[in-house]
Amino acid sequence: MSGRKRIQVDESEWYRLQRNAQKLKEVQRNLPRLIDDVRKQTRADIDRTFGRVEERQRRHEEVVRGLSEQTRQLEADTSRRLREQARELHRTLDETAGRIQEDSRRQLAAHQEAVRREIAAERAERRAETARLSAEIDVMKQDRARAEETVRTWLSDSRAMAGLIERSLPHERYAPGELDRLTRRLSTAEQNASHGRFDAALAVVQETYHSLSELRLDIEQRELERSWAQTAAVEALVRIGKLIEGNRERPVLGADGRSLPGYTLDVTYWSAGELDELGQETERALARARDDGTDTGELHALRERAPGLEGALGETVERAGMRQLASQIRVNLADAVAQTLSDYAFYDLVDSEYQDADPRGAYYAKLRHDNGNEIVLDISQAVQDEGECVIRVHSYDHDVTAEADLTARARAIGQGLAAEGHQVSEPVSEKGDPDPLLRDIERHRARQQPRPGTA
């Protein structure tokens, strides 16, 4: 004889509820102040990023003012173009903050490419100017003092440019080892000059200077691209963070799929930590995006993670809603079984509670007969986040009840559930005697009470 009977309840009710819960998967995007909040935070990051760009360009202009006349105008024009490019990028990103779309990215990319082409044309002119100056070397051979002065001037300008790159630009990020290589070429030019070989020194130092200038331009361009990528990544992740916060509470859906007035779904609670984990993952990604050591490729990857994080948010909200609905199903099943046992065997419901007073756990209901016999219903999901429920009927009888009577009682429960539209299995006996602790429903509430001396 077994006082433990198990009844499986099919998934039809679960799937009906799941169709309603799936409506929760659509993340609430039109949240009050969402765009404004994202724009505000993004603009703060944009201003921080381009504040550094402007400071760097200011230092570059100070160095340019100290160059010789032959290079100062060339570099001044380049600095002006870089400054205009940075300001235009800053303005565009500021205007689209909070709503950077693919069209915005394409327009920015097109603008960046146009500036690149224009600067490339200027570089070609510089090379032509260098070739013209190199043609004067033979003339300079007749005037060693003039030749030495010209070489020394180019060397001074080159050292200034190399120092500027070393102090203010992340050259190792974009061109590892290149500055060292060019610095060694300057040393070679200096050695040639010290031996009076001004023609050879001039050819080397002019080529090296232009290589340094082009290195500066390339790094500046790539840093602007990184700043652009950083802004896009930060904005995308800030938006996800705001969506997570805005979806911590959602409406509770009724049987008709509509929101129930006065009820909310606490996603943080029902997700059992999943929403917090998603928030922490987003925060880590955002911190990485804001790190100036993060390269452009990783920033693009961080931005591309945003849709996946939003999808995970939708799934988390959906699961939370399903768990809340499943919790209610367990209560509904207990009520249905209690009614059946009342009609069939005159048992009354005397107590009920979730495991450890946690609605996410199993649900227990205790029923008592006038003769002192008790039944405890243990209702849980067969598998977490899946539809099938299991009802275990634990019988505590003072008199001797035949196995046939216990089985008949379990079948009556199944018939009662079937009458309400549930599909149930035949009752199955489980080995062993019912756990006497299950009768103590109060212990589940007691476990939620704070221990002495705690808040």
The pLDDT value recorded for residue 306 is 93
The pLDDT value recorded for residue 178 is 96
Which of 1-10, 360-369, 432-441 is predicted with the least confidence, judged by mean pLDDT? 1-10
The pLDDT value recorded for residue 286 is 96
The pLDDT value recorded for residue 423 is 72
Residue range 4-15+326-446 forms a domain whose CATH class is alpha beta
The answer to whether residue 294 scores a pLDDT higher than 90 is yes
Helix (H) or strand (E) holding 213: helix 198-246
Per-residue pLDDT tens over the stretch 40-50: 888 888 888 88
Q: Is the Cβ–Cβ distance between 452 and 446 less than 8 Å?
A: no
Rounded Cα–Cα distance for residues 213 and 328 (Å): 71
Strand partners, 334: none
> Sorting pLDDT into bands at 50, 70 and 90, what band is 452?
very low
Instruction: Give the CA dihedral 329, 334, 340, 346, nearest 10 degrees.
Output: -160
> Sorting pLDDT into bands at 50, 70 and 90, what band is 139?
very low
The pLDDT value recorded for residue 450 is 45
* Averaged pLDDT for residues 212-221: 90
* Averaged pLDDT for residues 91-120: 68
Let me know the angle formed at the C-alpha of 304 by 20 and 107, rounded to the nearest 5 degrees: 115
Rounded Cα–Cα distance for residues 193 and 280 (Å): 60
The answer to whether residue 172 scores a pLDDT higher than 90 is yes
Rounded Cα–Cα distance for residues 120 and 323 (Å): 61
The pLDDT value recorded for residue 451 is 39
The answer to whether residue 123 scores a pLDDT higher than 70 is no
Rounded Cα–Cα distance for residues 414 and 406 (Å): 13
Q: Name which of 116, 65, 64, 62 is nearest 89 in CA terms.
A: 116
DSSP string, 52-73: HHHHHHHHHHHHHHTS-HHHHH
User: pTM (2 decimals)?
Assistant: 0.77
* Averaged pLDDT for residues 93-101: 66
Task: For residue 275, give both structure tokens.
Answer: 């929403």
* Averaged pLDDT for residues 421-448: 81
| Mean pLDDT rounded to a whole number for the chain | 81
* Averaged pLDDT for residues 203-228: 89
Per-residue pLDDT tens over the stretch 303-362: 999 999 999 998 998 888 888 888 888 888 888 889 888 888 888 999 999 999 999 999
> Sorting pLDDT into bands at 50, 70 and 90, what band is 402?
confident
> Sorting pLDDT into bands at 50, 70 and 90, what band is 15?
low
> Sorting pLDDT into bands at 50, 70 and 90, what band is 97?
low
The answer to whether residue 156 scores a pLDDT higher than 80 is yes
The answer to whether residue 129 scores a pLDDT higher than 70 is no
Rounded Cα–Cα distance for residues 151 and 427 (Å): 100
* Averaged pLDDT for residues 66-84: 83
Name the percent of the chain lying above pLDDT 90: 28
* Averaged pLDDT for residues 159-184: 94
More confident residue, 423 or 455: 423
The pLDDT value recorded for residue 2 is 47
Range ranked top by mean pLDDT from 11-20, 100-109, 378-387: 378-387
More confident residue, 40 or 66: 66
> Sorting pLDDT into bands at 50, 70 and 90, what band is 102?
low
DSSP state of 26: S
Sequence ranges of the domains in the chain: 4-15+326-446, 34-232, 239-322
* Averaged pLDDT for residues 429-451: 78
